[in-house]
Structure 1
């Protein structure tokens, strides 16, 4: 019984570490976030290289945003339904990943208005442009 409890505690610690440590960003970054995004809940900040990533819920949607150290917004990632992925992207996944099921889909809006889509397949993020054309693959760090 003690071994089971110890294992459960270790697994919980590992899972918490894997998600990244929650941090408190500089005041200007927090202020920029509050000005850009209203009506949010479940806010959690993490350091991402030289930038700050904030995960949150807005209007019942899981989202994240990235700000630089000056508080400049760089991009927003919004969880969307698999059915909202452009048809060309869904077709690409089906033909290149042996019809493997798409785990998650996100719409990424970058500063300047460029939109990309991200489909998670087999622990890989497959990135597409707004029309669903393949851009690149990235191994999922989660």
Structure 2
């Protein structure tokens, strides 16, 4: 019985550490909070998550759900902006129509990496389908 409980505890720990964890603003490094506040001085409500070694800020801007990922040093790594399904590149929409016919797209987003690389994401059945800027499937 102890072995089973230990196994369950290990699996739970691994699962929790693999996913982003909600954290309070007090646990976010000052460098990250300062960088975010400088980039978005008008945003007052922010939810924070720890994602591997980075910090993710979730917020609303101009009625769009957004998130930004920062390194512990406060360097912006990527930003994600909620978009409408119609704003996905045509090629991505075509792919989803063919491979997920009749399945509802829960949400879509535009992702911009710090390098300037743009990707698009569509969430279907709890899984994220990733496309490049032209709508070509990445994964």
Distance 2:90 2:41 in 1: 32
What SS does the corresponding residue of 1:29 show, helix, strand or coil?
Answer: helix
- Alpha-carbon distance in 2 for matches of 1:121, 1:38: 33
Q: Does 1:35 align with 2:44?
A: no
Paired residue for 1:83? 86
Q: Give the match for residue 22 of structure 2.
A: 21
Q: Distance in 1 between matches of 2:45 and 2:63?
A: 11
- State how 1:60-79 maps to structure 2 within 5 Å: 60-79=63-82
Q: Within 2, Cα distance between the matches of 1:122 and 1:54?
A: 24
Report the TM-score when normalising by structure 2: 0.80
1:135 is matched with 138
Tell me the SS of whatever aligns to 1:126: strand
Deviations 1:70-109 (A, max 9, x none): 1100000000011000010011011112331211000001
Q: TM-score, normalised by structure 1?
A: 0.79
Kindly indicate which of the two structures has a greater share of residues assigned to strand: 1
Is this contact kept in 1: 2:81–2:109, CA < 8 A? yes
User: Gaps spanning 5+ residues in structure 1: where?
Assistant: 1-16, 137-142
State the number of aligned residues. Answer: 120
Q: Give the SS at the match of 1:31.
A: helix
Partner of 1:126: 129
